[in-house]
Each structure stands twice: as structure tokens, then as C-alpha cells.
């Protein structure tokens, strides 16, 4: 029997060291090294997933490689199809992370049950068969091709896979799996790395799509070594606030599509409902004109959306004025306040400023600058902006309104939702045919022009 070797692994980034160290040299975190057993015997490596006709790899010339369109399985969930780039790619390995209790297991149980005619294996290492059956009963969806397995050993899982030959595999969760090749505990860096690698070999050799549901750490990153995100083809983040009914499925990495896409769901008693028109839920329905509210035309991925920006400007009681932003970059807010102070002569330096993007959404698109600026001015002057007006423009440091991309889609979305007027940058006018639009487009060049028109 060969000697078992041990090594120290950083539980934050997966860095390997021969001896214990207080501070990780890779990620600079303190007290994250844990000793784990490492098995180095080669014959054991062959006990993972291995097909009978596995051939040895050989070198090929680039010109000899035939390219073909990747096969995709279209699920009934259009939001999932969107974030995956047009459907589930055969042989892909998809990692999904999110807060506990946000609805990851519910979402993929629902997707698997809705896939009629696709033999699906749902492997759970966290819940019993009875718990999953109770959730399936609550979803009220029947599927004859759905199979359950409550197991954590990868060898047992692969034996069942060879018997069943599923067309889709869902693992809940990757942190509970344990490979006999590694002697450390489930959830450790070594186990996550080895089990993910085995699942990758299985997915690529059999052309079967595999979904891995993963836990996240307290700082929001996916638990385990960073190499886990490098191994998989796609990384999805399922996020939302426990106090809101809406959930967002966001693409972090995608080898088969765009990384700027997001899908929106509403959590209901009977599962997750797809939100096909997010603008309606992100804009509060109101009849009267309230100060400090402006509507921004933004784009997430390929999807245009209209979001409500709420601002509150009050006299500062304490010596240092407060600056609070929810769903918007605080440094960007301070930049816009400095532009208003310098270019417009508004004294925000003695005011408390609070900003909120309604609906629990976080927006990073710079095109909402103009809406943020108008919401701030509206609250400052205590004059309401009409709820039939929206804005799309980036604000520069000299007070100019800069052009934004895909302005036609933003205007079309505002027109579809019944808005009567949209303020844009005058540098976006090129190529726009105003005669075909049923919405008034107001091109502007500077911030002071906006102020004169609105207030």
C-alpha cells in the first residue's frame, strides 16, 4: 500500500501548499489553509467516468477540424434559453450559483419536469426523495421521463447513469458530491475539483448536458476553488432579494453565447413564473406626478427595459451629508452630483442624497445617467416629472449628454409601453427616422438644456 500524501489547500481560492501558511499568497486571505489528503495512485484515476470505446487523443491540424453548429435542446423556459444563448447545448457543463433559499432547486426541478420527452436524471445530495416529491406536487407538473437519485458518491451516480442513459443530468449540489479518488471531506477544494472534472469528462464523452447547482460564500462568490468556474462552459448567477418576489438569472460566463443576458422570474406559490415584459414590473403604476421619480430606458444583453429611478434630496442635519445608492454605483452618483454642482450651480454639498432603482434591480448601464440626474433635480426642486416621459443618455464630466448604443430599441420599447416623449443625446440623431415613430424624440446636448425644458 502506497503512502497517502497530504497537502494544504486554501478554502477561498484553491491554492495548494506543502505546508501551512497563515496568509494565502494567491488571494491574501488569512487562516484559510486546511490540510487534506491527496491520493496519488494512478490506477484509481481510471475508476471515474470512462467509456468502453474511449480512444487516445491525437494531434490534428487546424484545417482538418470540421466546424458545425452546436446542437441545442430548447426548453419550455424562454428565460433560461435566453441566458444560455439560445437553448441547452449538448455536452455542456453549466454551473448555477445563488443564495440559499433563493429558488435554485425549484427552478431546475421545474425546468426538468417541463421538458417532456427528455429522459432527465435529478441527483440530489441535500434532500430526500420525499422532499423533492413534495416540491414537485406543489409545482403540479407531471413528467413520465423524470428520474430521481439521492446519492453523493460519484461512482454510484455513474453506475446509475450507465443503466438509465439520461439525456439531461442535474446535480444538486456539486458541494455534496464525493469521489472515492480523494479522501478529504465533501465540499473541500480537492473534492469539488475532482468531482467537477469527472462530470466534465462524462458530459464531453457522452454529449449529455449537465447542470451543477452550487453554493455561494458569504461574499457572494461560488464556494470552492476558482478552477471550478474555469472547468465549466457556462456560469449562471441566480439572484434576488428575499423581500421581493422577483428573481434574476444572470450569465457570468458563457462559451456558447453572450455574457450580458439576464432572465427575470417571479416567485409564486406554484413555482417560478417567467416575466416576458420586465418593464411593467420595474415601473410602478401611478397616476399623480411625484417629485424625484424618472424613467430610464436601459438595455441588459439584448433586452431593452424601462426602469424607475427614485431620488430623495433633503437638507443635511449633520455636518457630513449622506450619500446612499441602492442598485446603482455610489461612485457614479457622486460623479453626477459633482457635475450638477460644477456645471449647474446646484448646492448638493449641503444635502443628503438617497437613490434607489425600483424593483430590486442592479443597473450598470451608463445610459441611465440622464434619468438619475433628472430624478435628483426633480427632488431638489420638488417638481414632478410626467410619467409619460423617459430618458436615455450618458452624462459626461463637462455636462454634455453623450450618445448611447442601440437607441432605436430603447425608443421602440418606450413607444410600445405608451410613453409620449423620450429625451436622448443629439449625437444619437444620425440615421433616425422620426416620421415613423409615434413618440416625440427630444435630442439634447447639455445638462442645462434638460433643466430648462423640464423645470
How high is the pLDDT of residue 44?
Answer: 43
The residue with greater pLDDT, 371 or 362, is: 371
Pairing of strands 323-326, 401-402: unpaired
438: confidence class by pLDDT, cuts 50, 70, 90: confident
- Rounded Cα distance between 430 and 423, Å, is 15
Confidence (pLDDT) at 49: 66
| pLDDT tens, position by position, 202-249 | 999 999 999 999 988 777 778 777 888 889 999 999 988 766 778 889
Condensed to tens digits (0 to 9), the pLDDT of residues 25-65 reads 888 888 888 888 776 544 444 456 665 555 667 888 988 88
C-alpha to C-alpha distance for 411 and 2, rounded to whole angstroms? 69
Q: What does the pLDDT average to over 387-413?
A: 92
DSSP 342: I
pLDDT value for 318: 80
pLDDT at 55: 61
Annotated binding site for ATP: 98-105
Helix axes 447-454, 369-381, angle to 10 degrees: 50
What are 168's strand-pairing partners? Answer: 120
pLDDT digits (tens, 9 = 90+) for 70-116: 888 899 999 999 999 999 999 999 999 988 888 899 999 999 999 99
Per-residue b/e over 310-341, b at no fewer than 16 CB within 10 Å?
A: bbbbeeeeeeebebebebbeeebbeebbebbe
Binding residues: 98-105
In this prediction, residues 315-331 reach a mean pLDDT of: 90
pLDDT more than 70, % of the chain: 94
Q: Where are the alpha helices (DSSP H) in 182-329?
A: 189-206, 227-231, 278-282
Per-residue model confidence (pLDDT) at position 183: 79
pTM of the model: 0.76
Amino acid at each position: 500500500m502506497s503512502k497517502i500524501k497530504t497537502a494544504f489547500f486554501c478554502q477561498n481560492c484553491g491554492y495548494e501548499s506543502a505546508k501551512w501558511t497563515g496568509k494565502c499568497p494567491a488571494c491574501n486571505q488569512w487562516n484559510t489553509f486546511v490540510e487534506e489528503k491527496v491520493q496519488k495512485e494512478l490506477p484509481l484515476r481510471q475508476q471515474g467516468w470512462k467509456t468502453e470505446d474511449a480512444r487516445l487523443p491525437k494531434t490534428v491540424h487546424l484545417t482538418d477540424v470540421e466546424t458545425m453548429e452546436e446542437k441545442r435542446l430548447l426548453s419550455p423556459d424562454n428565460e433560461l434559453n435566453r441566458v444560455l444563448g439560445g437553448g441547452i447545448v449538448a455536452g455542456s457543463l453549466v454551473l448555477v450559483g445563488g443564495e440559499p433559499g433563493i429558488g435554485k432547486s425549484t427552478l431546475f426541478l421545474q425546468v426538468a419536469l417541463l421538458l417532456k420527452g427528455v429522459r432527465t436524471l435529478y441527483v440530489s445530495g441535500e434532500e430526500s426523495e420525499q422532499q423533492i416529491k413534495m416540491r414537485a406536487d406543489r409545482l403540479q407538473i407531471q413528467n413520465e421521463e423524470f428520474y430521481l437519485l439521492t446519492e453523493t458518491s460519484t461512482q454510484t451516480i455513474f453506475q446509475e447513469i450507465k443503466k438509465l442513459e439520461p439525456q439531461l443530468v442535474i446535480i444538486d449540489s456539486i458541494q455534496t458530491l464525493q469521489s472515492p479518488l480523494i479522501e478529504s471531506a465533501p465540499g473541500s477544494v480537492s473534492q469539488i475539483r475532482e468531482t467537477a472534472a469527472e462530470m466534465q469528462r462524462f458530459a464531453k464523452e457522452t454529449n449529455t448536458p449537465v447542470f451543477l447547482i452550487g453554493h455561494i460564500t458569504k461574499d457572494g462568490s461560488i464556494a470552492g476553488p476558482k478552477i471550478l468556474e474555469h472547468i465549466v462552459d457556462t456560469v449562471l448567477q441566480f439572484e434576488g432579494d428575499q423581500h421581493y418576489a422577483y428573481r434574476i438569472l444572470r450569465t457570468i460566463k458563457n462559451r456558447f453565447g453572450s455574457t450580458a443576458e439576464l432572465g427575470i422570474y417571479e416567485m409564486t406559490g406554484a413555482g417560478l413564473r417567467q416575466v416576458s415584459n420586465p418593464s411593467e414590473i420595474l415601473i410602478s403604476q401611478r397616476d399623480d406626478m411625484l417629485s424625484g421619480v424618472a424613467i430610464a430606458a436601459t438595455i441588459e444583453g439584448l433586452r431593452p427595459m424601462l426602469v424607475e429611478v427614485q431620488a430623495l434630496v433633503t437638507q443635511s442635519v449633520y455636518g457630513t451629508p449622506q450619500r446612499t445608492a441602492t442598485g446603482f454605483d455610489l461612485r457614479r452618483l457622486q460623479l453626477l452630483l459633482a457635475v450638477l454642482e460644477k456645471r449647474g450651480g446646484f448646492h448638493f454639498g449641503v444635502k443628503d442624497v438617497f437613490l434607489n432603482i425600483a424593483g430590486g434591480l442592479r443597473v450598470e448601464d451608463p445610459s441611465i445617467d440622464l434619468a438619475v440626474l433628472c430624478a435628483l433635480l426633480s427632488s431638489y426642486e420638488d417638481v414632478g416629472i410626467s410619467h409619460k416621459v423617459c430618458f436615455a443618455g450618458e452624462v459626461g464630466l463637462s455636462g454634455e449628454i453623450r450618445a448611447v448604443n442601440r437607441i432605436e430599441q430603447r425608443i421602440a420599447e418606450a413607444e410600445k409601453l405608451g410613453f409620449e416623449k423620450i429625451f436622448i443625446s443629439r449625437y444619437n440623431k444620425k440615421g433616425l427616422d422620426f416620421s415613423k415613430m409615434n413618440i416625440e424624440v427630444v435630442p439634447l446636448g447639455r445638462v442645462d438644456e434638460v433643466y430648462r425644458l423640464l423645470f
